[in-house]
């Protein structure tokens, strides 16, 4: 076998091993991935980023950040996760996802308190290609009305709506992220839904 061929075979083998390792990591749950990450495993860290990056960007967008700022928040959160990975501990039984989203929510709140903050709240519309042009226009108008109504909610209500409906988290998970009791979370959602219904009647 020539030197060039041996190098090509070796490179192919290395690539295959990397793909295989990533596939194994993708099968792990958060606890196992975090355990690997704490030990300095960058592969596990990359899987965690891929698993939750878009979710954090989505939370930041729903809380009023424009696309660029939302991306910055996600990047900042994951930089902190890596730099402080050895300090992470399950906080009162909270899952890693809950802790991660809590960090993201707090980071967004900090940014929104700055005087130069520009509200860029928007909902992601996913067009249904099977719908007629008239139906798609009607759907767009409904999204627009809902977006306007949501922006009239309090910050706490917007966060609650986002976590429960957009992120599809349970009341228990959402309450842990917001640092309130489950009962308080349910009350917050109830008031938010009532306010949304009232606002939608006027739009």
Q: Over the stretch 29-68, which tens digit does the pLDDT of each residue have?
A: 898 999 999 999 999 999 999 999 999 998 888 888 888 8
Query: Dihedral through CA 28, CA 34, CA 35, CA 38, nearest 10?
Result: 150
Q: Are residues 98 and 115 in the same domain?
A: yes
**Dist. CA 63–CA 66, nearest whole Å:** 9
- The answer to whether 112 and 189 are in contact (CB under 8 A) is no
Look at residues 102, 119, 136 and tell me which one is the last residue of a structural domain: 119
Domain span including residue 168: 128-203
The least confident of 29-33, 37-41, 153-157, 166-170 is 166-170
- The answer to whether 49 and 87 are in contact (CB under 8 A) is no
Stretch 7-25: mean pLDDT, rounded?
Answer: 57
Stretch 166-195: mean pLDDT, rounded?
Answer: 88
**Dist. CA 101–CA 91, nearest whole Å:** 13
The model carries a pTM of 0.64
| Domain harbouring 149, CATH code | 1.10.10.10
Q: Are residues 99 and 8 in the same domain?
A: yes
Q: How many CB atoms lie within 10 A of CB 68?
A: 9
Residues sharing a CB contact under 8 Å with residue 133, sequence separation 6 or more, in sequence order:
none
Q: Are residues 167 and 113 in the same domain?
A: no
**Dist. CA 114–CA 88, nearest whole Å:** 28
Q: Are residues 85 and 152 in the same domain?
A: no
- The answer to whether 183 and 104 are in contact (CB under 8 A) is no
**Dist. CA 199–CA 195, nearest whole Å:** 6
Number of separate domains in the chain: 2
Strand, helix or coil at 122? coil
| Domain harbouring 98, CATH code | 1.10.1740.10
């Amino acid at each position: 076998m020539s030197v060039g061929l041996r190098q090509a075979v070796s490179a192919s083998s290395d690539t295959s091993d990397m793909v295989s390792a990533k596939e194994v990591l993708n099968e792990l749950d958060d606890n196992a991935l975090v355990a690997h990450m704490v030990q300095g495993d960058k592969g596990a860290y990359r899987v965690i980023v891929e698993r939750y990056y878009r979710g954090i960007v989505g939370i930041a967008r729903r809380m009023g950040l424009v696309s660029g700022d939302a991306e910055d928040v996600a990047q900042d959160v994951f930089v902190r996760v890596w730099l402080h990975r050895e300090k992470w501990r399950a906080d009162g039984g909270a899952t890693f996802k809950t802790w991660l989203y809590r960090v993201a929510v707090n980071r967004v709140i900090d940014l929104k308190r700055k005087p130069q903050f520009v509200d860029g709240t928007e909902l992601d519309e996913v067009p249904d290609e099977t719908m007629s042009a008239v139906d798609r226009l009607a759907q767009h108008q409904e999204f627009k009305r809902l977006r306007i109504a949501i922006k009239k909610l309090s910050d706490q209500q917007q966060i609650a709506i986002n976590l429960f409906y957009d992120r599809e988290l349970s009341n228990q998970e959402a309450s842990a992220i917001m640092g309130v009791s489950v009962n308080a979370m349910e009350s917050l959602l109830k008031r938010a839904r009532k306010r949304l219904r009232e606002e939608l009647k006027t739009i």
